[in-house]
Amino acid sequence: MKVFVEKETCIGCGVCENLCPDAFAIQDDGKAVAIEGASEAPCVQDAADSCPVQAIIIEE
């Protein structure tokens, strides 16, 4: 499974980092990225479902 954030879509709201800090982090540019091991975090799907702009992509 591969998890990534579409940078051009992300609005930097911080929801994913709050819900799933093991998988997402807001960078200096204000956008979220999927961090090392993100695909292993059980909260990834919840974070993806909660992203207001569907910027979190999960590929099986």
Other beta carbons within 10 Å of 37: 10
Q: How far is the CB of 39 from ligand SF4 (least distance, A)?
A: 15
10 Å CB burial of residue 35 (0-12, 13-18, 19+) is: middle
16 makes contact with ligand SF4 (CB under 6 A): yes
Contact 52, 18 (CB under 8 A): no
Size of interface with ligand SF4, in residues (CB under 6 A): 15
Closest CB to ligand SF4 among 30 and 40?
Answer: 30
Chain positions contacting ligand SF4, by CB under 6 A: 5, 10-16, 24, 32, 51-53, 55-56
